[in-house]
Structure 1
């Protein structure tokens, strides 16, 4: 009998079946998964397409960042399970919105920002501007990733105050 080979089989992707999965928190902080008779402890979730499809194609990874499973969509889960997964993703991808840019200073290869965000006033640094300050969604939004991996979002470039935009314009490619 001829065996069919699909791209999914070749890629090694193992889609998680929500009916066989139970996610829970160990000690109220470590995400764990019981799946088809096996337990996976201290797992983390990673959005494969974070800006366009934040609730779809979620990678379930072990502590070494090795993918165990891929979740097609959070909407496949019960509301309780989807809520738990959503909370974990929110913690990992917490991205305050920047409403004002007070200053941007360049010093020794780093950019230092002082901004107002939805989480209050923040000061942060970033390096490698071409990778860590970029336009997304056809240039309407900007994502900034600081040296600690924190993400900040400018939701709509067109709505920024002109003086704030001038502070970052030289760094936008």
Structure 2
């Protein structure tokens, strides 16, 4: 039996992280408090601040928050931190090396957080152009990386990427 979507307004939702707790708690006014709440974006790339699924610890959806606009400052801070952790995707600013190694592509890159290396097993299955010149790459270990604007990279980075494109 399918259940109807329950939409929540910002004024109905309050969130906090108890001291020392690993999970956030979410109170829905007049209904319940979720002791182990999960927060997921319905459209993480195109609408990151709209339509957020609030779920219980078992992953069962309790409701969908239409927008983060209008949340109280504490709740907004808790939600921002939770979403940053869940959807952290380093932006590749420069590609320093790219070579095949053991049947995989080994990337040496510089991101907004510094230099790192990662492997990609199968380029066609692991990379998606989500908008013109904007690439999302999933590494062999499940990490996510983004090239926000391929044309905006330096000439050497673009030359290295030409091996894959």
TM-score, normalisation: structure 2: 0.83
Name whichever structure is richer in helix by fraction: 1
CA distance in 2, matches of 1:11, 1:167: 49
**Cα offset for 1:73?**
0.6
SS at match of 2:39: strand
Q: Is residue 43 of structure 2 the alignment partner of residue 59 of structure 1? A: no
Give every structure 1 segment of 4 or more consecutive aligned residues whose post-TM-superposition deviation is greater than 4 Å: none
> For 1:93 and 1:130, how far apart are their aligned partners in 2?
22
After superposition, the Cα gap between the structure-2 partners of 1:68 and 1:123, relative to the gap in structure 1 and judged at 3 Å, is same
Is contact 2:8–2:64 with CA below 8 Å preserved after alignment? yes
Q: 2:4 aligned to 8, 12, 17, which one?
A: 12
- Alignment correspondent of 2:74: 80
Match of 2:164 among 130, 151, 171: 171
Q: Where does structure 1 lack aligned partners over 5 or more consecutive residues? A: 1-9
Q: Deviations over 1:20-64 (max 9, x none)?
A: 322111324311112234221222211111122111111122334
Q: CA RMSD in A?
A: 2.2
How many residue pairs get aligned? The number is: 162
SS state of the match for residue 167, structure 1?
Answer: helix
TM-score, length of structure 1 as denominator length? 0.80
Give ranges in structure 2 of 5+ residues lacking alignment: none
Report what 1:25 is aligned to. Answer: 17
The answer for the alignment partner of 1:116 in structure 2 is: 110
Higher mean Cα deviation, 19-28 or 50-59? Answer: 19-28
